[in-house]
């Protein structure tokens, strides 16, 4: 509102200044010369003010975007890693040599991640391609399709999603931080209350479904995709998805 008001003032100043300049064409006297000089100065000052306002506006927008990215960076990282883990484990379903019998905590240990890093390939995917793959996985493990799998296959699928659910502690922690800042984020126009609420719902439901056996895992993955979309839009993130077994590592684990 203030910027619009300022622009009106600048416009009025320019119009008045032009009127003062025009007087010299009708009466070339000392007074009209003075008016013309004032008019030129007025136009120059107004144009400069408009330019400075626009430059200031751009700087403010850049600064605002930086702050938004700081707010959402860790949550975006956690969602990206979760998607990367989901794609990585899904690739192992049809691998006869992959051992699905270990305790979930072993798969998420630093020692295991280091051991398999040289054993299995990894790749970076554009977000759009990663999401298409994730949707295909979700469709494959929808409730209806799960009922068509033999028991041993269902066990592997449940193991996959139970590992993902158990790996969500940092994701849930970062989600809670965003929830606690919801009023500030709404006030600063960083994330609306409705988007905040949907974000909480999507992540909580995804983790809950993945923790249970023989559920509609397609819904869990679609909720995960929606949550990632909200955060990437809010923070302007364009990072690729690293298909790899990875998670946040605390200093005490190293």
The CA distance from 227 to 78, in Å, is 11
Q: Positive or negative, the Cα torsion across 169, 171, 173, 179?
A: negative
Percent of the chain residues topping a pLDDT of 90: 58
pLDDT value of residue 47:
60
Q: Is the pLDDT of residue 2 over 50?
A: no
Cα-to-chain-centroid distance, residue 83: 13
How many degrees, rounded to 5, is the angle at CA 216 between CA 244 and CA 107? 30
Strand, coil or helix: 222: helix
Show Cβ contacts of residue 26 under 8 Å, excluding neighbours closer than 6 positions: 32
Q: Of the given ranges (1-5, 118-122, 176-180, 234-238), which has the lowest mean pLDDT?
A: 1-5
**Which burial class, exposed, middle or buried, applies to 120 when counting CB atoms under 10 A from its CB (0-12, 13-18, 19+)?**
middle
Structure-token pair, residue 135:
């949707």
183 vs 7 pLDDT, higher one: 183
Mean pLDDT over 49-68 rounds to 64
Of 80, 100, 106, 104, whose CA–CA distance to 243 is shortest? 80
pLDDT value of residue 32:
46
Query: Mind listing the pLDDT tens digit for each residue in 130-187?
Result: 999 999 999 999 988 988 889 999 999 999 999 999 999 999 999 999 999 999 899 9
State the pLDDT confidence band at 68, using cuts at 50, 70 and 90: confident
Q: Which residue has the tokens 């994701």?
A: 171
Q: Report the half-sphere exposure of 13 (CA within 13 A, side-chain side).
A: 18
- The pTM for the full model equals 0.76
Of 126, 99, 105, 69, whose CA–CA distance to 243 is shortest? 126
Mean pLDDT over 119-135 rounds to 95
Cα–Cα separations (whole angstroms), residue 60 to 54, 65, 67, 228: 10, 9, 11, 26
pLDDT value of residue 69:
84
Q: Phi then psi for 124, rounded to 5 degrees?
A: -110, 130
The CA distance from 245 to 133, in Å, is 16
Mean pLDDT over 223-246 rounds to 95
Q: Is the pLDDT of residue 17 over 90?
A: no
Of 134, 127, 104, whose CA–CA distance to 223 is shortest? 134
Adjacent-strand bridge partners of 242:
124
Adjacent-strand bridge partners of 123:
243
Strand, coil or helix: 241: strand
């Amino acid at each position: 509102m203030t910027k619009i008001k300022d622009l009106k003032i600048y416009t009025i100043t320019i119009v008045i200044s032009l009127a003062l300049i025009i007087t010299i064409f009708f009466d070339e006297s000392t007074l009209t010369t003075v008016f013309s000089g004032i008019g030129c100065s007025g136009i120059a000052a107004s144009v400069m003010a408009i330019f400075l306002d626009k430059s200031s506006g751009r700087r403010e927008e850049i600064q605002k975007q930086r702050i938004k990215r700081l707010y959402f960076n860790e949550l975006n990282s956690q969602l990206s890693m979760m998607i990367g883990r989901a794609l990585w484990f899904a690739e192992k379903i049809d691998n006869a040599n992959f051992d699905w019998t270990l305790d979930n905590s072993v798969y998420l240990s630093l020692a295991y991640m280091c051991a398999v890093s040289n054993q299995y390939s990894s790749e970076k995917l554009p977000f759009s391609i990663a999401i298409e793959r994730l949707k295909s996985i979700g469709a494959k493990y929808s409730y209806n399709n799960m009922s068509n799998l033999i028991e041993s296959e269902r066990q592997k699928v449940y193991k996959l999603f139970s590992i993902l659910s158990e790996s969500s502690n940092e994701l849930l922690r970062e989600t809670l931080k965003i929830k606690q800042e919801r009023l500030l984020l709404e006030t600063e126009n960083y994330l609306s209350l409705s988007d905040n609420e949907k974000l909480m719902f999507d992540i909580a439901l995804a983790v809950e479904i993945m923790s249970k056996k023989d559920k509609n895992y397609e819904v869990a993955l679609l909720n995960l995709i929606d949550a990632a979309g909200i955060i990437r839009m809010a923070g302007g993130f364009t990072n690729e998805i690293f298909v790899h077994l990875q998670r946040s590592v605390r200093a005490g684990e190293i």
